[in-house]
Chain A
């Protein structure tokens, strides 16, 4: 890993010196050994503090939105899974490809003090779906381990599932971290932050409201969620938000064929494209178009 980090630093310096980029989104050592902090490097000198190790779990692609307002090109380090989020932002015109230099960095699975990150258990593989340059290595990503939670939920009765979600979502404190970290949640002003929307909410006004927040968000990112797992990683209350998104993905795959958001920025999401072969959902599944809920 250390050799990779050195190569990354050298590559960054070279690109900086050639005037290719004028700032870098990468990681620095945080307070503890198991902690790498995302940082925007604004000077060449600072590159010496760049780290790349098994604690660089944060997906940096979302930070690019803010960088688009600035002059010049920004270099971003993206792991294979992070490139899906980047493509999603690209396909929605939230980043400008011309203003980003993607340095693909190899990954062998990311860890915190407790071990392999949960999101790494559903790793998408070694392929970079976007890059300008890739740092080669013989690292290989961890093999996916199914969580089994999706099946458990599917097997529940509607009442049990309702109780499960009420229990989980009642922990929500409306910190909005899931939304703010999500590469699919990229509205300039979120409806929940808009005082004129009539549904602006800093905190739950009643017990049901925060439940609805997550359900509305899951619908909003349906077809655009890459299943990157950042929402579950950041949730301070350990709510398994990924399960809501995976349910959406499962339902869409079943109806419209397998689709992976962020794999190809040119591809159209099944929910933004109409094909004659699309199923007539309400005819097939009844009112509401829901099969098993």
Chain B
């Protein structure tokens, strides 16, 4: 455990910047998200959740795959070169860090997604313990500990000091770069901070949320057929807020952009809430908003865990709780369907 005064954060970032591009939560046009840091920028470490989830580090909303252009009667296809930029992501929260493990399962399994892989390989994740978890947090439901956030390096902030603990080889490499700024840290101080955080977690309104029936795969068909989906989805606007802000939603589409003189093949986030999602030549296999709505939650809480050793595709970050315009969110679904009995007793 190492420590340095928090007021030397700029020096830390400058040192890291010598070999890496540093990303940190910053405010831009009234919204806090991760942006590339440069000297003089103000970092928002008090912001619990960035408006954009950090999935875009490795899986940007839109990325070019190749360009096709007609030249003198022949067609040239130029694959987009993957940029190998080494990046440090500073201030990632425990829930968002866990989301990388979920994305890894999708993008790094065979066949490996090279666009994702190169960014992930070049990324160093420095997490920050959640000093002030909020009402909308329910990461504990998924066994995540915001007091011990993981990553390559974990950072705690207590009494004006920053505590630094390297956890992986990558973390060691970062530590070597910045060691000169630190002194040996008092382990107890960080432990005290962890205890403080865990005490705050005990007071959160969703601390006892359990997945109920969603935890038993044998009830998948009952869950699918629950009458509650209809009622829950009645007021779903069919927008993409939940899917796009969700750190684990990873569906995408591959589209063409015709600029008039070349075709750019790009992939972009897609949303299962959209009517055009997975549209095929025969049309769409999910025609109603109820079907689309059900798909999203069944995927997160039933299909994904079924295919991934019981790991749910939700990390309890609470972005959908904060941002859904209709106050629909995964917790309401869990409470209405997961916590009800097989007869659908909760009557959402």
Tell whether A37 pairs with B234 under 8 Å between CB atoms, given A175-B240, A203-B62: no
CB-based contact B241/A35 at 8 Å: no
Tell whether A205 pairs with B264 under 8 Å between CB atoms, given A31-B327, A200-B276: yes
Q: Residue among A31, A176, A200, A201 with the most chain B CB within 10 A?
A: A31
Chain B residues whose C-beta falls within 8 Å of the C-beta of A237 in the assembled complex: 31, 51
Q: Say which residue of B52, B239, B245, B266 sits within 8 Å of A176 (CB atoms).
A: B239
Interface size on B, residues (CB 8 A): 45
Q: Say which residue of B239, B253, B268, B332 sits within 8 Å of A177 (CB atoms).
A: B239
A55–B244 Cα distance when bound, in Å, is 25
CB-based contact B332/A205 at 8 Å: no
Chain A residues whose C-beta falls within 8 Å of the C-beta of B269 in the assembled complex: 173, 202-203
For chain A, residues 146 to 202, give those with C-beta under 8 angstroms from any C-beta of chain B. Answer: 167-168, 170-171, 173-177, 179-181, 193, 195, 200-202
CB-based contact A167/B327 at 8 Å: no
Chain B residues whose C-beta falls within 8 Å of the C-beta of A38 in the assembled complex: 235, 326-327
Chain A residues whose C-beta falls within 8 Å of the C-beta of B275 in the assembled complex: 193
Chain A residues whose C-beta falls within 8 Å of the C-beta of B274 in the assembled complex: 176, 193, 202
Chain B residues whose C-beta falls within 8 Å of the C-beta of A174 in the assembled complex: 61, 240, 244
| Size category, A interface | 35 or more
CB-based contact A193/B239 at 8 Å: no
Tell me if A58 counts as interface (CB < 8 A to partner B): yes
Tell me if B105 counts as interface (CB < 8 A to partner A): no
Q: Mark B330-343, 1 if CB is under 8 A from A, else 0.
A: 01100000000000
Tell me if B205 counts as interface (CB < 8 A to partner A): yes
A29 (CB) vs chain B CBs: closest residue: B327
Tell me if B270 counts as interface (CB < 8 A to partner A): yes
Tell me if B279 counts as interface (CB < 8 A to partner A): yes
Tell whether A175 pairs with B231 under 8 Å between CB atoms, given A38-B327, A202-B253: no
CB-based contact A203/B327 at 8 Å: no
Chain B residues whose C-beta falls within 8 Å of the C-beta of A42 in the assembled complex: 231
A233–B239 Cα distance when bound, in Å, is 14
CB-based contact A39/B332 at 8 Å: no
Tell whether A167 pairs with B62 under 8 Å between CB atoms, given A181-B239, A202-B253: no
Tell me if A133 counts as interface (CB < 8 A to partner B): no
For chain B, residues 264 to 291, give those with C-beta under 8 angstroms from any C-beta of chain A. Answer: 264, 266, 268-271, 274-276, 279
CB-based contact B240/A63 at 8 Å: no
CB-based contact B327/A30 at 8 Å: yes
B222 to chain A, nearest CB (A): 21
Tell me if B321 counts as interface (CB < 8 A to partner A): yes
A30–B61 Cα distance when bound, in Å, is 30
For chain B, residues 291 to 348, give those with C-beta under 8 angstroms from any C-beta of chain A. Answer: 321, 323, 325-329, 331-332, 347
Tell me if B78 counts as interface (CB < 8 A to partner A): no
CB-based contact A173/B234 at 8 Å: no
Chain A residues whose C-beta falls within 8 Å of the C-beta of B326 in the assembled complex: 37-38, 58
A42–B235 Cα distance when bound, in Å, is 12
Q: Say which residue of A37, A206, A236 sits within 8 Å of B332 (CB atoms).
A: A37
CB-based contact B237/A167 at 8 Å: no
Q: Residue among A35, A168, A170 with the most chain B CB within 10 A?
A: A35
Tell me if B257 counts as interface (CB < 8 A to partner A): yes
B345 to chain A, nearest CB (A): 13
Chain B residues whose C-beta falls within 8 Å of the C-beta of A40 in the assembled complex: 231, 234-235
CB-based contact A203/B51 at 8 Å: no
B332 (CB) vs chain A CBs: closest residue: A31
Tell me if B40 counts as interface (CB < 8 A to partner A): no
A205–B266 Cα distance when bound, in Å, is 7
Tell me if B135 counts as interface (CB < 8 A to partner A): yes
Tell me if A141 counts as interface (CB < 8 A to partner B): no
Chain A residues whose C-beta falls within 8 Å of the C-beta of B245 in the assembled complex: 173, 175, 236
A178–B274 Cα distance when bound, in Å, is 14
Chain A residues whose C-beta falls within 8 Å of the C-beta of B238 in the assembled complex: 180
Tell whether A236 pairs with B29 under 8 Å between CB atoms, given A180-B238, A202-B276: no
Tell me if B28 counts as interface (CB < 8 A to partner A): yes
CB-based contact B135/A32 at 8 Å: yes
24 contacts between A and B (CB under 8 A): A32-B136, A36-B327, A37-B235, A37-B332, A38-B326, A39-B234, A39-B235, A40-B231, A46-B347, A58-B325, A171-B29, A171-B31, A173-B52, A173-B245, A175-B271, A176-B240, A176-B274, A177-B237, A195-B276, A201-B255, A202-B253, A202-B269, A202-B271, A202-B274
Closest 6 CB pairs of A and B: A203-B268, A37-B327, A177-B239, A234-B325, A40-B234, A175-B240
